[in-house]
Chains A and B, each alone.
Chain A
Amino acid sequence: MNARSVIRLLGTIVLHVVMYALAIIAVAPFLWMVLTSFKELGDILTFPPSWWPKVFIWQNYVDAFDAAPFGRYYLNSLVVAFAVMAGQMITCSMAAYAFARLHFWGRNVLFYLFLGTMMIPGQVTMIPSFLVLHWLGWIDSYPALIVPGLASAFGTFLMRQFFLTIPRDLDDAASIDGCGKFGVLWKIILPLARPALATLAVFTFMGVFNDFLWALIVVSSEDMRTVQLGLAIFRDRYQTDWGQLMAASVTSTLPILVVFFFAQKYFIKGITLSGLKD
């Protein structure tokens, strides 16, 4: 055991300690939320906030699910989130390919203008967007929740930046072998862009699942409500039904964390991004 390896060991230990400490700071509020969903009201309205429930109760979950047909809301949220997620992976990859690989007049201008669309807060475009949907007759339907989400400046930007890091030699090699542009995208670029695709999938899923404002204005009937709309019922002008709100929030956050946990393997090193062996 020489000095070098001791230092290395110490370094590893320090690294672990620091990372875990930071992780605890990051996750503590979430743990509190989960534990609070099992508490009685008196246990929730305390200061300093209590951590472990004095009495473990399931009632909040029962009440939350009684308050509104959350089963249906989950179905709606999941359908819409998966549809938009899949849709964006396709449309954004295609658009990003055009911006990253193809040359055409006005490419950069168009790209930056497209980026610019992200810079206007949704609160002012919300009502005009609603009017478009109304003219299409899509109010209160799945298309209203899905179709507007199929184009994303964020997603396109993300994929384009990633595509830029993939060496062009590969494209050229494939073209020479007779691959058309779409073939290059499908066979060469996308497989290499798995980390970006996985990232996009996670963020899109999360963004759609957590959306409140848009769902609020396009959904009227109870059958089409999403989970976020459902959660609103636990707060009104003066009061919050804390226990039920925590219970419903926990169940609405879990799907996203599950998707995240499993999508991670696409960001983790270990998969050989070879194909670059020349």
Chain B
Amino acid sequence: MYRELTNARRNRSDWLSALAFLSPTLVVSGAFVVFPLLFSFYLSFHTWNMFSSQATFVGLDNYRKIATSEEFWAVLKNTAVYTLGTVPVNMLISLLIAYFLNKKLAGKRLLRTAFFTPVVMSSVAAAVIWRWVYEPNFGLLNTVLGWFCIPAVNWLNDPAAAMSALIVMGVWKTFGVNMVLFSAGLQGIPDHYYEAAEIDGAGRWSRFWYITIPLLAPTTFFVLVMSVIGSFQVFDTVYVLTSGGPLGTTKVLVFYLYEHAFKFFEMGYASAVAYVMFAIIFTLTMLQTKYLKQSIHYSA
């Protein structure tokens, strides 16, 4: 009861300060984020070819078309597969690399910068090398597989293999971001926790499992949410490597949305697709929040 009273009092007194601290963000977001979002939502109930100043109201028609569109569901499935393929692998690799980059290692700064280059690099240039890696006859990957007597795979043109090829390039392109985020998170874990544990006789693995992982939870949550959002919105890597092919097996949501907006000039439909995407990602995020509840309300 005392707790509740304290909270209630806190709620009131903090309201004004909260407003002060949030004001710059609220003002800018209001104009440049909230308004466009509301406008797009409004558009999702219309058709609009963008050149004209009139949009025609169509009610739930766009949403109905989405529900009945075979292509939409296929594209959604592709995107989900891509997400499931990239997010766990990405997080694992970037966490391990960030962890080991904390240890005694020669040339850390150089190594970190090297790991970060895929993130900043132009996708167009990167695609040239990756297309060579995946070339079925003389490409790097099949040549290496050949050394182990594994038969060649048609990475880019075989519908069964293209998604895997895309996933690998996708992980390559973005793990640097998560590596940096995990590095920052690792810095936030005070040394004295490790020291205390060591004194108590905890081994490396125990220290990692019982100290690092739990204390890293807020960062992990962040990385997870951002990775899921990012992979649902992937565009560049798909565009340059497979362009949605072969036979539409790597066509992802943003691709689908983009072509409806700027190729078929159906901005209303594209907005509806965007909001369906939003609903899906938001739900996923809320689920993640539920599962990792303790990491959100974490306090030392």
Contact = CB atoms under 8 A, between A and B. Distances in A.
Q: Which of B50, B100, B129 has the most chain A CB atoms closer than 10 A to its own CB?
A: B129
A161 B218 contact: yes
Contacts of B87: none
B229 A119 contact: yes
Contacts of A161: 218-219, 221-222
Contact of B172 (A12, A26, A120, A157): A26
Contacts of A153: 29, 33
B188 A121 contact: no
Chain B residues touching A, range = 35 or more
B199 interface: no
Interface stretch (A52-60, A62-70, A75-83, A191-199): A191-199
Given A28-B129, A112-B286, A125-B37, A269 B187 contact: yes
B129 A256 contact: no
Interface string B223-260: 00110010011000000000000000000011001100
A165 B188 contact: yes
B180 A94 contact: no
Interface in B48-101: 50, 97, 100-101
Nearest to A114: B29
Interface residues of A, number: 96
B261 interface: yes
A33 B285 contact: no
B264 to A, nearest CB: 13
A103 B8 CA distance: 9
A29 B17 contact: no
B24 A257 contact: no
A216 to B, nearest CB: 12
A91 B25 CA distance: 6
A70 to B, nearest CB: 15
A195 B218 CA distance: 14
A164 B298 contact: yes
A173 B247 CA distance: 63
Contacts of A120: 37, 40, 274-275, 277-278
Interface of B: 7, 10-11, 14-15, 17-18, 21-22, 24-29, 31-37, 39-40, 43, 50, 97, 100-106, 108-122, 124-126, 128-130, 132, 135, 138-139, 172, 176-177, 180-181, 183-192, 215, 218-219, 221-222, 225-226, 229, 232-233, 253-254, 257-258, 261-262, 267, 270-271, 274-275, 277-278, 281-282, 285-286, 289, 296, 298-300
Given A30-B121, A32-B128, A249-B122, 13 more contacts: A19-B105, A22-B97, A27-B115, A29-B125, A124-B270, A151-B32, A165-B215, A195-B185, A196-B188, A245-B124, A249-B121, A264-B109, A273-B187
